[in-house]
A and B are shown apart, each in its own frame.
Chain A
Amino acid sequence: MLKKMKKQPNAQHSFSIGGVVSAIQNPDKRFTLLLWAAALVVPLICCAMLFSLISDSVLAFGEFGIFKFITSSQWSYTEGHESCGALPFIVGTLESTFLALFFCIPFSLTVALFVGEYYKGRKVAAVFGTITDLLAGIPSIIYGLWGFYVLRPIVVALGLSEQGSCILTASMVLAVRIVPYAASLSAEFIKMVPAELKEAAYSLGATRGEVLRTVVFPCAGSGIFSAFILAIGRALGETMTVTMRIGNTNQMPTSLLSTGNTMASIIANQFGEADGLKLSSLFAIALILFTLTAAINLIGKILIHRAQIR
């Protein structure tokens, strides 16, 4: 049997035992095998995570039903009267994310234009671009701390909110958090717009603003859009910056100035003292968040891929 399989020319690419055995004898194939083994760890971890999210949330989904879990706004764990719905957290997550996106767009677009078009290739653009990338790498707890001790007093002083903890302030810090991602990626797409297209527009007598409007933005548009999709993906899952600013209350947010919780922040706040049904509910929320961010990131990647092909 082994002898027979060894004769197959492509045995090293199939996962037959014979293929593995023959691969172990050949150093080149051994390395390929090692690469395969190491690379397979990634999808395995992903599947394992998804499996445990699903298996641990079965209890909660079974007790409340998937639809009711997503649409109910009650979150109480009084012994014997458990009722729980993730709606306030889903709403809190979406509200803070899209508000953050709203704040983020004008800032990241201007930074992207500065770095990718107006001062492209100059020292000042390199410096600003590096600082932008640096901001993207700072741990989110630092943004949270800054938001708590610097931004909150300002919000209170402006009279926007009494304690300074609300969805609005959480979104502001969140916006600062995602601007570097959106700006840095948008700048890359703006840089990619071919000089010959811009020159064509200039040669027809266009001003710089007209070149931006008719050439740069239309050409880089889908790339910039995907940059913002990826920024949304970031914002959805952002935990510490939001947890420290949003007020952490479990009721439905009534306005942008009311306190709330996001899916990430409720998990961060309650995982320590949760067990049984409550823990399962947190897993269920984690599963929803996982699916949502994975979908958003996938869409973003597909759009980027398409933009690059164009």
Chain B
Amino acid sequence: MENIDKTILRIHDLSVAYTADKLSVSHVNCDIPRNQITAIMGPSGCGKSTLLRAINRMHELYRGIQVSGQLWMNGLDLLKTNAMQVRRQVGMVFQRPNPFPTMSIADNILAGYSLNGLRLDKSQRQTIVEQSLRSVGLWDEVKDSLTKRGTFLSGGQQQRLCIARALALRPSLLLMDEPTSALDPIATATIENLISELKQEVSIIIVTHNMGQARRISQKSLFMYLGELVECGDTEQLFSDPSDSRTRAYLSGHIG
């Protein structure tokens, strides 16, 4: 029971195939800890994004992608639950900041509610906008321009806006797909600090090709190679004493 409480998501035998003859993610088993940051790392094309996108069922938007296995969260198999419901509980932040260009900053934050047809009164809207923007440290920067379009912000601000947009729905789990790869080093540092703080509120899985980032911010790490989960465990342990030779080769720069 204690084990279940500490685990937000249990990935069981998860496989993803883009074409019938090849598994891009092959039989992955892993527990994702609650209120911690879990990093998925590995070289390009190893299936880390593919694994991440299976969790909030993004593969269903495209034809011909097969996902099998089980994803247990809060007693439900996410693969057998209504996809819209899953995505409301599992937020996502993408590689490139993608605020809705036709919406204001405030409307971007509230997009999750308006998209789901949830009606809010004015004070609820204000509370959600302020809380979400505060949680990503953007409130003081944009509080006077809430009605302006989100696309006028800098890249780093846009990405924080997108994190706030995902947090506004109060998800149990937040998926981040290389959220700093399109940002400069200063914006990256801001986002990394933010992610570290956010784990109080939400469990986070972050995909990164940056080993240093994984080591800096995560408590648990997964190393994937050629679609396989090679090793997973405590981040410090995995970095200081990897048990698999491929992990060691990746961490020392011999493969990648």
Contact surface of A with B, Cβ cutoff 8 Å: 122, 194, 196-207, 210-211, 214-215, 218-219, 221, 310
Contacts and interface: CB of A to CB of B under 8 A. Distances in A.
B111 to A, nearest CB: 6
Contact of B87 (A198, A205, A310): A205
B162 interface: yes
A200 B94 contact: yes
10 cross-chain pairs, A with B, having the tightest CB-CB distances, nearest first: A205-B88, A218-B102, A203-B92, A206-B115, A204-B112, A205-B87, A196-B98, A205-B84, A200-B98, A210-B115
Contacts of A206: 84, 115-116
Contact of B100 (A207, A210, A215, A310): A215
The interface centre, meaning the residue of A199, A204, A206, A218 with most chain B CB atoms within 10 A of its CB, is A204
A204 B87 contact: yes
Contacts of A221: 102
Contacts of A310: 101
B71 interface: no
Interface string B107-139: 000011011110000000000000000000000
10 contacts: A194-B98, A196-B98, A198-B61, A200-B100, A203-B166, A204-B165, A205-B88, A205-B112, A206-B84, A206-B116
Interface in B160-194: 162, 165-166, 169
Contact of B115 (A196, A197, A205): A205
Contact of A214 (B56, B58, B114, B165): B114
Nearest to B84: A205
B253 to A, nearest CB: 31
B209 to A, nearest CB: 18
Contacts of A204: 87-88, 91, 111-112, 115-116, 165-166, 169
A122 B58 contact: no
A199 B94 CA distance: 9
A197 B100 contact: yes
Contacts of A201: 100, 111, 115
Contacts of B98: 194, 196-197, 199-200
Interface residues of B, number: 27
B164 to A, nearest CB: 12
Contacts, number: 71
Given A199-B58, A205-B112, 13 more contacts: A197-B101, A199-B61, A199-B92, A200-B92, A204-B112, A204-B166, A205-B84, A205-B115, A205-B169, A210-B115, A210-B116, A214-B115, A219-B102
The interface centre, meaning the residue of B115, B117, B169 with most chain A CB atoms within 10 A of its CB, is B115
Contacts of B248: none
Q: Which secondary structure characterizes the binding site on chain A?
A: helix
A280 B114 CA distance: 60
Contacts of B162: 200
B192 to A, nearest CB: 21
Contacts of B103: 218
B63 interface: yes
Contacts of B91: 203-204
Nearest to A121: B63
B96 interface: yes
B101 A203 contact: no
B111 A203 contact: no
A46 B73 CA distance: 69
B85 interface: yes
A203 B100 contact: no
The interface centre, meaning the residue of B92, B98, B112 with most chain A CB atoms within 10 A of its CB, is B98
A197 B84 CA distance: 16
A214 B100 CA distance: 9
A300 B111 CA distance: 31
Contacts of B88: 204-205
A199 B99 CA distance: 11
The interface centre, meaning the residue of A196, A199, A207 with most chain B CB atoms within 10 A of its CB, is A199
B114 A202 contact: no
B115 A219 contact: no
B235 to A, nearest CB: 26
The interface centre, meaning the residue of A211, A215, A219 with most chain B CB atoms within 10 A of its CB, is A215
B101 A205 contact: no
B114 to A, nearest CB: 7
A202 B103 CA distance: 16
Nearest to A201: B115
Interface string B56-100: 101001010000000000000000000011011001101010101
A186 to B, nearest CB: 17
Interface in B35-53: none
Contacts of A198: 61
A196 B111 CA distance: 15
A239 B85 CA distance: 54
A258 B91 CA distance: 59
Nearest to B165: A204
